[in-house]
Structure 1
């Protein structure tokens, strides 16, 4: 009888813990779906949603945009390297020093 009473006394706590766990699982799954993360199967493998024509087209457009942005970033890096080379160039510094020694033009 004591064991049965203990189980009856602990039942609300057990139900609360199980309810919190299930609610957390549902919220986590909903957030993953909402943000485009793949779902996990029983053994941890990723389950990807079914692909349709619209999704494939979006991936193609994003891939093209990514390539364009990478090319633009490469060009900007090259320009920045040239600017750094010009600014740190010794002759540039020497030209400034010569102009300072000449003084203001009369």
Structure 2
């Protein structure tokens, strides 16, 4: 069986007031698409959510989608706690993920 790489990710805006949760099979490319305004009418473009603050990897797409749905149902407080588990200072992690 081939190994697959999927990720859920949380983006925020510069002021850290808005959160966006997504799922992808290539986090580096997906972040670039958000930054470049791949879809000018999207939520991330509208609210300038380009800054990665949390991500999790999965082998199976079904697991990634289930986790995305789970997180979207959480309160903002619970999402904040998740982010702060590994990223206490809400550092922007884009440079750690985007391949240059």
Asked if these proteins are the same fold (TM beyond 0.5), I'd say: no
Of structures 1 and 2, the one scoring higher in RCO (CA 8 A, sep 6+) is 2
Q: Work out which of the two has the higher radius of gyration on C-alpha atoms and give 1 or 2.
A: 1
Under TM normalisation by the shorter chain, which class is it?
A: under 0.3
Name whichever structure is richer in strand by fraction. 2
